[in-house]
Amino acid sequence: MTDTFIIVGAGQAGGQAAATLRSKGFEGRIVLIGEENYVPYERPPLSKAFLAGELPVEKTFLKKPDFYDNKNIELRLGRRVVAIDRQARTVNLDNGESIGYDKLLLATGSRVRKLTVPGAELSGIHYLRDIADVEGIRAAMKPGARLAIVGAGYIGLEVAAVARKLGHEVTVVEALDRVMARVVAPQVSAFYEKVHREAGVDLRLGTGLTAFEGDGRFEQLRLTDGSAVPGDLAVVGIGIVPNVELAQEIGLKVDNGIVVDEYGRTEDPDIFAAGDVTNHPNAILGRNIRLESVQNAMSQAMAAALAMLGHLEAYNEVPWFWSDQYDLKLQIAGLWEPDDEIVVRGDMESRKFSVVYLRDGAIAAINVINNMRDFLPAKKLIEAKSKVDPARLADPEVPLKEFLTT
Amino acid sequence: MAKLIVTTREGETSEVEGERGISVMEILRDNDFEVAAICGGCCSCATCHVYVDEEWMDKLPAREEDERELLEELESFKDNSRLSCQIEFTDDLDGLQVTIAPDE
């Protein structure tokens, strides 16, 4: 009898894991279960080119739909796992089907954090996580529609940029006193705030939301300063929460995500996890982290798939992210901390520069804005943790790779 | 359908049908070649790096700034390096030969 590997979650991690299992020679049965009705697809374009209507849905697919048939990967789309039995080693679906597994990968991802303020149940309030969400937003973005966006993180700002390019009036409300406050230094926030304001976004910082108001349907935001922001649709981007419930129900260790080791293994030798949902060690950072990123979903899924096959290759990478807003391509490597020393390479006014974050004299993170040449060397420098001279680092004419050899 | 000729990191060469209008990276990915293509083709990660057969270099559109800046920082960079996500496959490229570059 051949082994059955079940993957719960058909997002980027689940899809990548299935592909890796096959490409590494696994010949057993693979069942990939996902709640959405789509084959695994890439989420990053959803708030960018896909929202802008520049990308057909098929172009977001991780693999062409016939890939799964060709590779004999059984898809269970539009299906939810309702229970897992670790003793019997079975997975039960919402249609009554029960499938036995030899190895199980939990790639359950994350879901949007929802607001619970008064009026949160009104129609016309959108969140952005999947294809259906974006289709809903696009349908509501009729010519002239005004957007009231809650949250100035990646999602809120990317939606704002797309909407301004399409000519919509946009207001962004953020409870913190700066944009992207979780991920970049104040200098970079200030740069992006200026960019958005120059593009015509009405940016309200340090202002919380007290209610959505409207008669059955969203009409305006009510803010903590008492003012109102009228809009034809609201888009909320205030973060995501990991889908840990299944793991919790079966008694796996959960602590801000499903706890796994560097190979994606849980404490159950037959159960693995990968993607947004995991809390995993990162030797470069020297601590455990949970990451909400494509780099993590893809790379950790590859490591977990290998571990399912008994090949242990540690997943240990510098985390990286990107965000497209207007003509600006922001790439981030490493994780910023408030006490980091900031070195700017290049002229911010030129819209092509890097911001380097130094910790204990070494590069800990970087924000690259339209300045791709610094990106790959910075990732290596973050990994190497070698000390750098801040004065020399501040000279954009000195290539970053020169610091690798010193 | 036009042909794309691919040499893997192990040195094995094979021929695949390439769909017009999609990128060489997508063709490689759909055919299960080992390109990670983490960023999905938005020129962010350099994990779809290939070497293009010299005689084809002139037939390809020039590298944009992002692609050039990413490529030039790779240890495995050569004059015929390209990010395969930035090459749209067309009928004109029937017979294009690429070699998948080392992973780094």
Contacts of A45 in chain B (CB under 8 A): 40, 42
Residues with Cβ within 8 Å of A87's Cβ and at least 6 positions away in sequence, in order, are none
Closest residue by Cα to residue A61 from A78, A86, A42, A89: A42
Q: Is B45 touching A (CB cutoff 8 A)?
A: yes
A329·B66 Cβ contact <8 A: yes
What top-level class would CATH report for the domain A327-405? alpha beta
Beta strands A202-204 and A170-173, pairing class = parallel
Residue range(s) occupied by CATH 3.50.50.60 in chain A: 4-111+240-308, 125-236
Tally the residues of chain A. Answer: 406
Q: Do A298 and B42 touch (CB under 8 A)?
A: no
Scored b (16 or more CB within 10 A) or e, A281-298 reads bbebeeeeebbbbbbbbb
Question: A125-236 — its CATH code?
Answer: 3.50.50.60
* Structure tokens belonging to residue A353: 């520069």
Token pair for residue B44? Answer: 């962010």
- Of A14, A31, A3, which is closest to residue A98 (Cα–Cα)? A31
Interface membership of A369 toward B (CB under 8 Å): no
Q: What is the CATH number of the domain that holds B68?
A: 3.10.20.30
The C-alpha atoms of residue A401 and residue A150 are separated, in whole angstroms, by: 40
Measured in angstroms, the CA of B73 and the nearest CA of chain A are apart by 6
- For the domain with range A4-111+240-308, which CATH number is right: 1.10.645.10, 1.10.510.10, 3.50.50.60, 2.70.70.10? 3.50.50.60
Q: For chain B, what is the radius of gyration of the CA atoms?
A: 12
A146 touching B (Cβ < 8 Å): no
If phi > 0 it is left, if psi is from -120 to 50 it is alpha, else beta; for residue A346 that is left
Rounded to 10 degrees, the C-alpha dihedral A9/A12/A15/A18 comes to -90
Chain B contact present for A387, CB below 8 A: no
Element (H, E) at B75: none
What does the block give as tokens for A50? 């896909």
Question: Is B70 part of the contact surface with chain A (CB cutoff 8 Å)?
Answer: yes
Q: Are A283 and A318 in contact (CB under 8 A)?
A: no
Residue ranges, comma separated, of all CATH 3.30.390.30 domains in chain A are 327-405
- B34 and chain A in contact, CB less than 8 A: yes
Residues of chain B found within 8 Å of residue A377, distances taken between Cβ atoms:
73
pLDDT of residue B32: 86
CA distance A18 to A209: 42
Instruction: Extract the residue ranges of chain A whose pLDDT is less than 70.
Output: 1, 406
Q: What is the per-residue pLDDT across B40-90, written as a single tens digit (0 to 9) for each?
A: 999 999 999 999 999 999 999 999 999 999 999 999 999 999 999 999 999
Hey, is the C-beta of B75 within 8 angstroms of any chain A C-beta? no
Q: Give the ranges where A166-260 is alpha helix by DSSP (H).
A: 186-198, 245-249
Put simply, the answer to whether A375 touches B73 (Cβ < 8 Å) is yes
Angle at A383 between CA A382 and CA A385, to 5 degrees: 65
Nearest to B4 by CA among B72, B52, B63: B52
Predicted local distance difference test score (pLDDT) of residue A1: 63
Q: A373 vs B73: CB contact, 8 Å cut-off?
A: yes
Alpha-carbon radius of gyration of chain A: 22
| Alpha-carbon separation of residue A385 from A365, A380, A381 (angstroms) | 10, 9, 6
Q: Does A64 touch chain B (CB under 8 A)?
A: yes
Residues whose CB falls within 8 Å of the CB of residue A290, separated by 6 or more in sequence, listed in order: A242, A256, A257, A276, A277, A278, A279, A280
DSSP A36: S
CB contact under 8 A, B40 and A331: no
CA distance A317 to chain B (A): 12
Q: State whether A324 and B73 contact (CB < 8 Å).
A: no
Q: Is A23 close to B42, i.e. CB distance below 8 A?
A: no
Structural domain span for residue B25: 2-100
A299 touches chain B (CB under 8 A): yes
Q: How far is A144 from chain B (nearest CA, A)?
A: 29
More reliable by pLDDT, B36 or A303:
A303
Give the closest-approach CA distance of B56 to chain A in angstroms.
Answer: 25
Return the pLDDT at B30. 87
Neighbours of A123 (CB within 10 A): 11
Average pLDDT in the B35-42 region? Answer: 92
With an 8 Å Cβ cutoff, is B38 touching chain A?
Answer: yes
Q: What is the pLDDT of residue A406?
A: 52
Q: Half-sphere exposure of residue A381, counting CA atoms within 13 Å on the CB side?
A: 29
CB pairs under 8 A between A and B: 54
Nearest alpha carbon to residue A135 among A212, A258, A215, A53:
A53
How many domains, chain B? 1
Q: Is A366 helix (H, G, I), strand (E, B) or coil?
A: strand
A63 and B44 in contact by Cβ < 8 A? Answer: no
Among B34, B35, B38, B88, most A C-beta atoms within 10 A, so best to mutate, is B38
